[in-house]
Structure 1
Amino acid sequence: MPRNQAVADQEPWWIANYRGRGPHQRYDHHNQAKTQRTVGFFIRHMGLEPGQAILDLCCAFGRHTHEFTRRGFPRTVGVDLSPDMLAHAASSATADGQRPRFIRADVRALPFRNASADAVLMLRSFGFLDAPEEDLAVLKEAARVLRPGALLGMDHFPPNSATAKVGTRVLKGPEATTTVHTTWDPATARLNSRMSTRYKDGHVEPFHSSSRLYTPEDLRTVLAEAGFTVRGTFGGYDGSALTADSTRCVVIARRV
């Protein structure tokens, strides 16, 4: 087994998968218009106002953190555990003339006071941890830092024939190509992927990922256990209704 594969297999994928130059090649190819639409959706449906303290948890490259800051929300803070992702987020924001704030932290132990946040966002990052109890711990921590009555915004993939699709796909970046082999485990409701990124210089980096997909009903249950009530669900950022075939489940929940 190659040394980098052995190292990756010895630690959680959500740490190994976001090191070095690989994440930038695999994930940082989002359409800016989509980012603007996402941020606009949450501003509108969560009733957010400039001056409020917003936490963007698992912010990755900080594209939403950046957009909130650009739109006049200077107290937005991007939180992530990957120093490489945060370094890229900070440099990208500075290069564009913006200076959002980024903090490295584990979302299960946030370095913020109780009831200090006006809103929390968790976009396409829930269900990454190994056990359901850990997922619950993340939501409880989000509830702890939110003031009572404040809102949580989530974007999650519900399990259905579209989101739990198995097979092989290829992602082409500017400097590398990533091949992704995906399988679905119905017993654990986890989508598992093995990835291999090949750079132009011939270097290859293997990675893997595994995320639990919650049904909207199960998501509502775990949110309630963490101290939230669901205020609204949507099937996309166009405000469409959530259906059994929706490829995403956008949730807005209120801290009790």
Structure 2
Amino acid sequence: MSEWFEESFGEDYLLVYRHRTMADAEDEVDAIVEWLDLSPKDHILDLCCGTGRHSIALARRGYRVTGLDLSETLLSHAVALSKGLPVRFVHGDMRSLPFSKEMFDVVLNLFTSFGYFVEDRDNERVLAEIRRVLKPGGRFLIDFLNRPAVLRSLVPVSEREEDEVKIREERWIEGDVVCKRIFVSDARGERRYEERVKMYSRDQMEEMMRRAGLSVQQVWGDFEGNPHTERSRRMIIAGRRPE
């Protein structure tokens, strides 16, 4: 039986998340450049890059970027969108990165691309892989959901229409997992997808990172740079692999 993330990141995903724009990515990259003090010499891994919005925004600024994703559909869009830019896209699993150790100066993991696995050990493998591919002193940034905000503001059902396609999203909590069921209906019929993300508190994230050999340095609540609190929209964690 396939995992949900092997089924959900196809052409319909692009429609469901069309509101996540290139302009948003440009603004987020502006913050990342400042927060991580990026250098033109940095080699950056955009881990779970999707259609490459952030990879492209970084490449436009002259950074050397590699984007990795499991979805070949999303990667094909990334390649098309990045034509002419110095960015490389690679197919792979974030639990076992197809890169040599100490290859990157920076690893980015954006738009809640963490917590995809049922078992904590698999999510911790992702952090261990981030450490492995980072150079000593290399920096990382993980943009994750903020559990208290999700619990407080979860919308059980929403419906909308995009280009004559009806989209219905149902959301619920199962223990530590926030779940979403997506129904996409058009002239071709109805398709159904699921998303399941394991929610971790800030303390849990920091402890997992410590065990993986990563040092947390700063936590923000959004890309505007506000401090992280229980009411923050996001939990954006930045740190380093120690020297």
- State the alpha-carbon separation in 1 of the partners of residues 208 and 170 from structure 2: 29
For 1:1-256, list aligned pairs within 5 A.
10-19=1-10, 21-73=11-63, 75-94=64-83, 97-123=84-110, 124-162=112-150, 165-174=154-163, 176-185=165-174, 187=175, 189-199=176-186, 201-256=187-242
Contact 2:56 2:82 in 1 (8 A): yes
Contact 2:149 2:230 in 1 (8 A): no
Matched positions, count: 240
**SS of equivalent residue, structure 1 residue 217:** helix
Residue by residue over 1:8-51, the C-alpha shift from the partner in whole angstroms, topping out at 9 and shown as x without a partner, is xx3100111113x2111112332333211111111111111113
- State the alpha-carbon separation in 2 of the partners of residues 173 and 102 from structure 1: 29
Instruction: Give the counterpart letter for 1:232 in structure 2.
Output: Q
- State the alpha-carbon separation in 1 of the partners of residues 161 and 138 from structure 2: 40
Identity of aligned residues (%): 27
Measure how far apart 1:163 and its partner are.
5.4
- State the alpha-carbon separation in 1 of the partners of residues 123 and 160 from structure 2: 28
| Cα pair distance change 1:177/1:49, threshold 3 Å | farther
What's the counterpart of residue 3 of structure 1? Answer: none
Instruction: Give the counterpart letter for 2:9 in structure 1.
Output: Y
What stretches of structure 1 of length at least 5 have no aligned partner?
A: 1-9
Measure how far apart 1:130 and its partner are.
1.7
Instruction: Give the counterpart letter for 2:206 in structure 1.
Output: R
**SS of equivalent residue, structure 2 residue 216:** strand
Q: CA RMSD in A?
A: 1.5
TM-score, normalised by the number of residues in structure 1: 0.89
What's the counterpart of residue 4 of structure 1? Answer: none
Instruction: Give the counterpart letter for 1:144 in structure 2.
Output: R
What stretches of structure 2 of length at least 5 have no aligned partner?
A: none
TM-score, normalised by the number of residues in structure 2: 0.94
Instruction: Give the counterpart letter for 1:239 in structure 2.
Output: G
**SS of equivalent residue, structure 1 residue 109:** coil
